[in-house]
Structure 1
């Protein structure tokens, strides 16, 4: 089975064209080597996929006949992605939300003045 079709079948990508695009950009590696979308994969191969700043490490257990339901995905793959990768993603998300919540727009003049006052008060304490 082609690697792009496999990644689509196990629901790692929503569409097959997204899986193909990821292969062409070099985000998919089989046995430590970047591959083309047409590369065949077999049970026992290890696939590494970079998606959303996480390097997913997947071991192929079996090849699905077609796209499978979410319940059946674990029959065809074993996810060996380290937990640290997901924790790092959460930390990155929290760091971005810390300064400004999503949807609040650009800082206002009042926000800028408050930041300057805070910075001045911090430098006075030193």
Structure 2
């Protein structure tokens, strides 16, 4: 594969090749939904990426900011895929920042009417 360097490729194909998405159809859907930006501009699935472009993928729990270091047209091993990008993503939030989900004790049964109303008030309904 060393002799098959490309000048550019589709953004959905590249995102799948570097393993930011599990399938190419997921990458295409993210582009169509507006969750992918290339150099600050909203990217369609067929938008071309080249070496040096900044790709921002929004989705899941956090935003991923990557810089293209190498163009890949086909899916490759994880080690090669890691070399094809530079990850400039902000670190994920620490676990203590995430809101804790209240849980009932096991065997406590269904909540009473009073407990249900307190839960609804707590959730803001």
Which TM-score bucket, shorter chain as reference? 0.7 to 0.9
Q: What stretches of structure 1 move > 2 A for 4+ residues in a row? A: none
Structure 2 match to 1:12: 20
Counterpart pick for 1:40 among 25, 44, 48: 48
Counterpart pick for 1:95 among 99, 110, 122: 99
Output one character per residue of 1:14-53: Cα deviation in whole Å (capped at 9) or x when no partner: 1101000000010000000101000110000000000114
Normalized per residue, which structure has more helix? Answer: 1
Consecutive unaligned residues in structure 2, runs of 5 or more: 1-8, 120-125
TM-score, with structure 2 as normaliser = 0.74
Select the structure with the greater relative contact order (CA < 8 A; seq sep ≥ 6): 2
The CA RMSD over aligned residues, in Å, is 2.8
Question: How far did residue 96 of structure 1 move?
Answer: 4.1
TM-score, with structure 1 as normaliser = 0.73
Q: How many residues align?
A: 107
Consecutive unaligned residues in structure 1, runs of 5 or more: 117-126
- SS of the equivalent of 2:48 reads coil
